[in-house]
Amino acid sequence: MGKAEKRAGRFTVYGRVQGVGFRYSTVQRAQALKLAGYVRNRPDGSVEVWAEGADPALDSLYAWLRRGPSMARVDRVDRDDFAPTGNYRGFSVTY
């Protein structure tokens, strides 16, 4: 895969997304999609996701984030696209 095919996305997920296993489900999904980055809770009750990888994988993650795990209720997902930083080797929960 060439560098031109890699992208990064910052996703902010709003709704009932804390205390429902959202971060750990996101890690599993992102790892399955071979994405690098992190997921973390934000003080306002939302969840932030930074992911780097292939465009189709980012699109797939975005579609999944709009549903989330079964206990979650997703109201909205904001997405901003960026050039990848290359700073991440895996995908994990950060605090």
Active site residues: 23, 41
DSSP 73-89: EEEEEEEEEE------S
Upper half-sphere CA count for residue 71 (Cβ side, 13 Å) = 9
Q: Give residues with Cβ within 8 angstroms of 31, minimum separation 6.
A: 90, 91
**Which residues make beta-bridge pairs with 74?**
15
Here the tokens at position 78 are 């904001």
